């Protein structure tokens, strides 16, 4: 599995990299994003720390803005998890309130009056600063929702199975109260340790990256796998 994960890392590290502030018009309306974090390395390149996409059509730009700009942790599980790690590292009891999801009217009626709004805004600002200063990403277009969701979960599973992709000793995620984040080295808890990418799906990823114009044909051709069948425990 580490060979396939290495190929993924080298493929994505060769795509155009975005940092904050980023030009929204250069991001496709539909696709998948791959997040990297400062000081995190694997396979001799920047380590993948999160893979994500979107459900609704034409929402990739909006999704990235929810992560990087809009200070509402209930609309971005990534923001919520960053905040959890920051608060848990500090031993801050506000973590309990941060975990509350106030999206629904019922939740707001139940918990809204109990939330320390000043503290929540302070933590949201900390999360924004952390993400804008320490995270970067690449994107590639995937027009159809079923393919987006399939490739997203397969990439997540592939990276989670890799024994080489380990976080640094200073990785913020090691302070997460979520064991799946600490153990996987990824800022996510879903789709871990499931069925990985097949050789055909990896080839499709290369095609999508080339189609998007994010990397040259020569660069993509240099990212290859051996002829040995791919697999992981149980498949």
DSSP codes of every residue in 55-71? SSTT-HHHHHHHHHT--
* CB contact at 8 A, 31 and 148: yes
| pLDDT for position 83 | 98
* CB contact at 8 A, 156 and 227: no
| pLDDT for position 112 | 87
| pLDDT for position 2 | 87
| pLDDT for position 217 | 46
| pLDDT for position 223 | 60
pTM given for the model: 0.89
Q: Which stretches of the chain drop beneath a pLDDT of 70?
A: 1, 213-235
Mean pLDDT of the chain: 91
User: H or E segment at 23?
Assistant: none
| pLDDT for position 222 | 59
| pLDDT for position 221 | 56
User: H or E segment at 30?
Assistant: none
Identify the CA nearest to 140 among candidates 26, 46, 47.
Answer: 26
């Amino acid at each position: 599995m580490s060979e396939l994960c290495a190929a993924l890392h080298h493929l994505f590290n060769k795509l155009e990299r975005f940092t904050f502030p980023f030009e929204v018009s250069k991001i496709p309306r539909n696709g998948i994003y791959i997040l990297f974090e400062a000081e995190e390395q694997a396979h001799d390149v920047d380590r993948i720390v999160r893979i994500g996409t979107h459900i609704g059509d034409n929402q990739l730009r909006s999704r990235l803005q929810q992560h990087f700009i809009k200070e509402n942790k209930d609309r971005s599980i990534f923001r919520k998890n960053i905040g959890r790690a920051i608060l848990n590292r500090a031993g801050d009891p506000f973590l309990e309130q941060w975990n509350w999801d106030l999206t629904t009217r019922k939740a707001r009626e139940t918990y809204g009056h109990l939330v320390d709004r000043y503290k929540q805004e302070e933590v949201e600002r900390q999360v924004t600063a952390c993400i804008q200063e320490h995270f970067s990403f690449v994107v590639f277009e995937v027009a159809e929702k079923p393919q987006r969701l399939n490739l997203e979960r397969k990439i997540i599973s592939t990276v989670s199975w890799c024994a080489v992709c380990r976080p640094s000793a200073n990785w913020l995620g090691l302070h997460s109260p979520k064991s799946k984040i600490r153990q996987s080295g990824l800022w996510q808890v879903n789709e871990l340790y499931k069925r990985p990418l097949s050789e055909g799906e990896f080839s499709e990823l290369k095609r999508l990256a080339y189609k998007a114009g994010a990397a040259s044909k020569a660069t993509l051709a240099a990212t290859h796998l051996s002829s040995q069948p791919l697999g992981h425990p149980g498949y």
